[in-house]
Amino acid sequence: MNIIKIKDIFIKELSIEFRQKFALGGIFLFATTVVFIVYKSFNNINPREWTILIWIIMLFAGLNAIVKSFLQEKKETYLYYYTLFDPIDLIVAKLLYNFMFLCVLFLIILGVMFVFTGFPVKDYGLFFTGSGLGIFGISIVFTFVSVISSADSGSSTMMSILALPLVLPIVLLLLKITTVSVRLLVDTTIMDDVKMLIGVDFVLLGAMLLLFPGLWRS
């Protein structure tokens, strides 16, 4: 692992993102529109619905955002990267970038939700640690699946078929943590769920780091 190279790839991703402003704007427009549709159809959202909606919107907006992480570049570009970087550096940089992107996306969705429907969270510490860990897990799964689907057919359909079942356990844990942080549910053992989330993150991260170099070679 080479920190400088990771930083280089990270900055490269960021500059590509800002050069293609339409893609960036499209994702945020998507998030805002969905929140608005949800707000208009529910009119009055209670905390229970709020916890569920925020993660469903996050999941689909995130899926749209990460699909392109490996699909946007050409085969030749990858061949070029292959000569330049260690696969671990590349995947770590991509993962960190996706994680940051999803976090920003999450904050924007939260902001839009805040304007339209309010912010029922009571336990801020639990909510943001839980969300951060969950988004990290989601970005691991999405990044890995985006590698597989780009190597397979290059279609985004494959991505959603493979990614959604894999993130379900993370989303279920997240839903529980969010429900507790909104105080709909009192659970003294909620730290067990947070630890569980950390465990799942590490296991998935380990599996990805082990498997990516092999996939990359093709």
Partner 1 sequence: MKGFWWKIAGVLLFLYVLIGGMIIPIKSGITSVTPNNAKSGEQLTFNVVGYNTNFLSATKVRAWLKLDSIHAISATEIEKISENDAKFAFSIPSNFPTKEAVQPLTLIVDTDIDGVFVQPNAIFVTLSDSAVISSEAWMSSAIGQFSEVKGIKFPYRNILNETIRNTFFHIALWFAMFILLIAGVYHAVRFLNTGDMVHDIKSAAFNKIGIMYGVFGLITGSIWAKFTWDTFWTSDVKLNMTAIAMLIYLAYLVLRGSSSDHDRRAKLSASYSIFAFVALIPLVFIIPRMTDSLHPGNGGNPALGGDDLDNTLRLFFYPSIIALALLGTWMSQLLIRYEKLKEKILLKNQ
Q: Does 218 bind partner 1 (CB under 8 A)?
A: yes
Kindly tell me which of 36 and 202 has the beta carbon lying closer to partner 1.
Answer: 202
Kindly tell me which of 49 and 192 has the beta carbon lying closer to partner 1.
Answer: 192
Whole-number Å distance between alpha carbons of 149 and 189:
38
CB of 41 to partner 1, least distance (A): 25
Q: Does 196 bind partner 1 (CB under 8 A)?
A: yes
Q: Does 200 bind partner 1 (CB under 8 A)?
A: yes
Q: Does 185 bind partner 1 (CB under 8 A)?
A: no
Which residue in 102, 144, 146, 180 binds partner 1 (CB under 8 A)?
144
Whole-number Å distance between alpha carbons of 200 and 73:
30
Q: Does 193 bind partner 1 (CB under 8 A)?
A: yes
Q: How long, in residues, is the chain? A: 218
Contact mark string toward partner 1, 148..177, x via CB under 8 A: x--xxx----x--xx--xx-xx--xx----
Q: Does 31 bind partner 1 (CB under 8 A)?
A: no
Kindly tell me which of 23 and 211 has the beta carbon lying closer to partner 1.
Answer: 211
Number of residues in contact with partner 1 under rule CB under 8 A = 29
CB of 165 to partner 1, least distance (A): 4
Amino acid code (one letter) for 2: N
Distances (CA, A) of 199 to 118, 167, 185, 195, 202: 32, 14, 23, 6, 5
Q: Which residues bind partner 1 (CB under 8 A)?
A: 144, 148, 151-153, 158, 161-162, 165-166, 168-169, 172-173, 189, 192-193, 196, 199-200, 203-204, 206-208, 211, 214-215, 218
